[in-house]
Amino acid sequence: MRKSKAEKLETRKHIVEVAAQMFKKHGIGATGVGEIMAAAGLTHSAFYRHFESKDELIAEASSTSLDVFVEAAKAAAASGPDTFVKYLQDYLSTEYRDKEMGGCPVVQTGGELALADAPIRQGVSDGLAKLLDLALTFTDGSAEAEADTIFTMSALLGAITLSRLINDAPLSEHILDVTRQRLARQPDTTQKKPKRTAPRPVKESA
């Protein structure tokens, strides 16, 4: 019996979700289409009723995975700058470092995505731009604040990546600690500058 359009979209979504988890856990290159479809409870041949190629699935799975991450950041930002900062601090934790299934695709598959063609990377690129724009809403809008925000994002991604790569547990933890401490010393650019008002004209005395 032919599936409805809604059922087909739901099946595609399920495949994407399974693929996103498997890519983060095992790596993109090491995960085959057949493995993904089996994990999704579907046949290998059914894949091509939903996607033209593995590249299309990689692009959608990576984009969707980062969208989840960005939405979580938006939810934290909606509660104010303190909650957003706490969200970023939690990123530099051993719990997050050891997370496989729900972590950031940039950390877990960024090396492979960097070597992929531009269309595959586009969704991730757009997601990172959204994350940067979100962080910038808590700054004063200056060029210095933008530079600090870019530095913070780079430090977060770099620290968690290094921490995951290093086998020495104390050193891995030390990298996270040092990064948290250094970022805490960053200048406070979260307060927006007040708008200037034109000075009132001075009345001349008669």
Give per-residue pLDDT as tens, 180-191.
888 887 665 555
Task: Determine the structural domain holding residue 161 and report its residue range.
Answer: 61-184
Q: What is the number of alpha carbons within 13 Å of residue 11 lying toward its C-beta? A: 17
Any idea which of 35-44, 66-75, 175-184, 190-199 has the lowest mean pLDDT?
190-199
Evaluate whether residue 48 is within a structural domain: no
Give the model's confidence band at 195: pLDDT under 50 very low, under 70 low, under 90 confident, else very high: very low
Residue-level pLDDT at 186: 67
How many Cβ atoms are within 10 Å of 168's Cβ, its own excluded? 9
Q: Determine, yes or no, domain membership for 83.
A: yes
CB-based burial label for 30 (10 Å; 0-12, 13-18, 19+): exposed
Whether 118 maps to a domain, the answer reads: yes
Check which CATH number belongs to the domain holding 99 and give it.
Answer: 1.10.357.10
Say if pTM beats, i.e. exceeds, 0.75: yes
Domain membership flag for residue 114: yes
Answer yes or no: is 165 within a domain.
yes
Query: Minimum mean pLDDT among 61-70, 90-99, 106-115, 161-170: which range?
Result: 90-99
pLDDT digits (tens, 9 = 90+) for 94-150: 887 887 655 678 888 999 999 999 999 999 999 999 989 998 988 888 999 999 999
| Average pLDDT score over the chain | 85
Q: Quote the number of domains for the chain.
A: 1
Instruction: Tell me which amino acid residue 198 is.
Output: A
107: exposed, middle or buried (Cβ count in 10 Å: 0-12, 13-18, 19+): buried
Give a yes or no: residue 201 inside a domain: no
Q: What angle do CA 12, 105, 116 make, to 5 degrees?
A: 80
Q: How far apart are the first and last CA of the chain?
A: 94
